Structure 1
Amino acid sequence: MTIQEAKLYGKNQLASSPTPDLDTAVLLQHITGFDKTHLLLNRDFELSGEQKSDFLAAIEKRKTGLPVAYIIGHKEFFGLDFLVTPDVLIPKPDTELLVELALDALEDKFRANPASIPTVCDMCTGSGCVGISINAELRMRNAELKMTFVDISEKALEVARKNAQRLLGTGEPSDQCPVPHYELSIMNCAFVQSNLFENIPHTFDLIVTNPPYVPHSESLELLKDGRSEPLLALDGDVTENGEYARTEDGLSLIRRLLPQCYEHLNRNGVLIMETGEYNAQETAELFRQAGFRNVRIEYDMNEMMRDVVGVK
């Protein structure tokens, strides 16, 4: 099977996919190790027996609805290549706005105090894409910060830890810090398993979070296509114990999270939260009720309400 034959096969097999050509090309790049240009210029390249077998298996997985990112095990976000597994949400382009807003907020803090080392919490971190992207960008600017990554899922934290080691430098879990709490002192990063701020004793200058905010019924509907993303990271209508809260606005977890964020921010600290376009305005009102000031809603690349920002 040549690359051209593989492309035609993939296009036909994935006809029900929104992007059959792109899906096929990404799978072939992963399997062959070719970049986009090399793939285009080597249409007659003959796949080895192992490559053909891997390609056919990947196509079958994609036909079930499994996202390409889970099949190949990585996804680009903010110019970085992140490891992903079905234990974490696949990083989405809209979430890059959360990183940009965080960098703006940190720039203000550095401007006010150039010698400061801000403390940042990435709550509900998942793959770690938000916090790691912030950290990596600041390192390019020769700026320093201390970052705490928090998630209720131990498996998600392990993915985030691996991404931090790959993208921010070397570091190993401290022998003095038992799993699932990791300390990567070389990178000024800590990884803490916690139900929101339950195991977090300290405060921060900035909290960024992309929490579960999708209504319960919509979360279940989204997962019917076989995408295999974790319900835990989508469903916002859950109680403290993870049970269905009998609400359908996606805000049950956020209602608990906002007062905790306020409590764990330093004076003039900033909270930036991603939410849905369908509940952003209500989220902004919950910000105000929790005591935040200068509350505003920011719009994503599609002109949809996406992030809410507030100051303590």
Structure 2
Amino acid sequence: MPEVPTPSLVDLTSHIDSQLARILDDRQQIAAERNLICQHLLDQDAPTAMFLNPDAPVARSVWDRVESLLQERVNQRTPLQYLLGEAWFYGQPFMVAPGVLIPRPETELLVAWACSVLEEQAQEQAQSPTHLLDLGTGSGCMAICLKQRFAQAQVVATDLSPDALAIARQNAAYHDVALTLLEGSWFEALGPVGPVSPVASLQFDLIVCNPPYIDAEQAKHLAPELGWEPPISLFTDNPARLYTTLFEGAQAWLKPGGSLMAEWAFNHADTVLPVLEQYFEGVFAFSVQPDYAGHRRHVRGQRRT
């Protein structure tokens, strides 16, 4: 029997691309997932490796691991991040698992905007921010990035899910940052305003939140991969009520001049923002920021002094 030739790196990447093309139409997404697979399983940057040595042999054990992963990715439509156990956010790896929302690139823009706002406030007040809050922290990615940038601040992160908090705790340890992690729904996790909770007497310079903002009626029209993520982190029955509740809760916890910054759907600047501006007239000054596609994806409400 003739010997089976050892596959090369170019064979492997071509195979990955052809398998992913069965479920993905976007060439950029195919390339991104292929690169993540190669980086994770080969510990190599695929474009660099392909440029330097495309004919490099690939061990059969590695090929088999890739094939097993592709079978689950293609046949079960399991998100790649869950299969790899990590997602990249703000240039860093974060542990993820089913039950925890996968960080999105758009949310990186929210973190960048939040950092810019805090830096501007620090210059105006000649004082660095002291207390930051992340509501519904999930993997902890936003809270950790903020703590890395503002190391002297106390960063509090809440989540309703104990599984999510366990992942956030592991990510904080991996990135060597200290977070105050509290279990509960949004502001309820902080306890009543007063001396009962260790954070209940605090007021925050900034609150960030990536709430479940997808209209529940759209669920059946979305990609199958979303079915693997926790619905409580994705869907809402009433977006306007959700954000009204969020900003109502923030009033008691923000310092004068402090901001609540949140992500929302691409059309919420048209449908939800007018509701907020009317409801909170004289309380918050609102502004929005576009995402990579130009949609007004993020909202900031600054508490008036």
- The verdict on a shared fold, with TM-score over 0.5 as the criterion, is yes
CA contact (8 A) 1:119 1:147 kept: yes
Seen in structure 2, the aligned counterparts of structure 1 residues 158 and 225 have a Cα distance that, compared at 3 Å, is closer
CA RMSD of aligned residues (A): 2.1
Unaligned 5+ segments in structure 2 are 1-6, 192-199
1:175-222: CA deviations, max 9, x gaps?
xxxxxxxxxxxx2x2001111211214331211111011000213432
Structure 2 CA distance, aligned partners of 1:296 and 1:115? 24
2:267 match: secondary structure: coil
Seen in structure 2, the aligned counterparts of structure 1 residues 225 and 148 have a Cα distance that, compared at 3 Å, is closer
CA contact (8 A) 1:121 1:149 kept: yes
Q: How big is the shift at 1:9?
A: 1.9
Alignment of 1:73-112 (within 5 A): 73-112=85-124
Structure 1 CA distance, aligned partners of 2:226 and 2:257? 43
2:235 match: secondary structure: coil
Seen in structure 2, the aligned counterparts of structure 1 residues 117 and 95 have a Cα distance that, compared at 3 Å, is closer
Counterpart in the other structure of 2:186: 196
Seen in structure 2, the aligned counterparts of structure 1 residues 115 and 24 have a Cα distance that, compared at 3 Å, is closer
Aligned identity (percent) is 27
CA contact (8 A) 2:158 2:189 kept: no
Counterpart in the other structure of 1:20: 30
Counterpart in the other structure of 2:45: 35
Letter paired with 1:192: L
Structure 2 CA distance, aligned partners of 1:220 and 1:254? 23
Seen in structure 2, the aligned counterparts of structure 1 residues 226 and 60 have a Cα distance that, compared at 3 Å, is farther
- Establish whether residue 70 from structure 1 lines up as the match of residue 78 from structure 2: no
Larger radius of gyration: 2
CA contact (8 A) 1:84 1:127 kept: yes
Q: After the TM superposition, which of the residue ranges 296-305 and 34-43 deviates more from structure 2?
A: 34-43
Letter paired with 2:122: F
1:199 match: secondary structure: helix
Counterpart in the other structure of 2:294: 303
Q: 1:147 aligns with which of 147, 155, 170?
A: 155
Structure 2 CA distance, aligned partners of 1:232 and 1:104? 30
Alignment of 1:263-282 (within 5 A): 263-282=252-271
Q: 1:158 aligns with which of 153, 166, 170?
A: 166
TM-score computed with the length of structure 2 as normaliser: 0.83
Seen in structure 2, the aligned counterparts of structure 1 residues 223 and 252 have a Cα distance that, compared at 3 Å, is farther
Structure 1 CA distance, aligned partners of 2:226 and 2:127? 49
The list of structure 1 runs, each at least 4 consecutive aligned residues, that deviate by more than 4 angstroms after superposition, is none
Seen in structure 2, the aligned counterparts of structure 1 residues 128 and 220 have a Cα distance that, compared at 3 Å, is farther
TM-score computed with the length of structure 1 as normaliser: 0.82
CA contact (8 A) 1:262 1:290 kept: no
1:297 match: secondary structure: strand
Counterpart in the other structure of 2:272: 283
Structure 1 CA distance, aligned partners of 2:160 and 2:40? 31
Structure 1 CA distance, aligned partners of 2:247 and 2:212? 13
Counterpart in the other structure of 1:53: 64
Q: 2:134 aligns with which of 96, 118, 122?
A: 122
CA contact (8 A) 1:215 1:236 kept: yes
Q: After the TM superposition, which of the residue ranges 12-21 and 29-38 deviates more from structure 2?
A: 12-21
Structure 2 CA distance, aligned partners of 1:112 and 1:11? 51
Letter paired with 1:235: F
Q: How big is the shift at 1:275?
A: 0.7
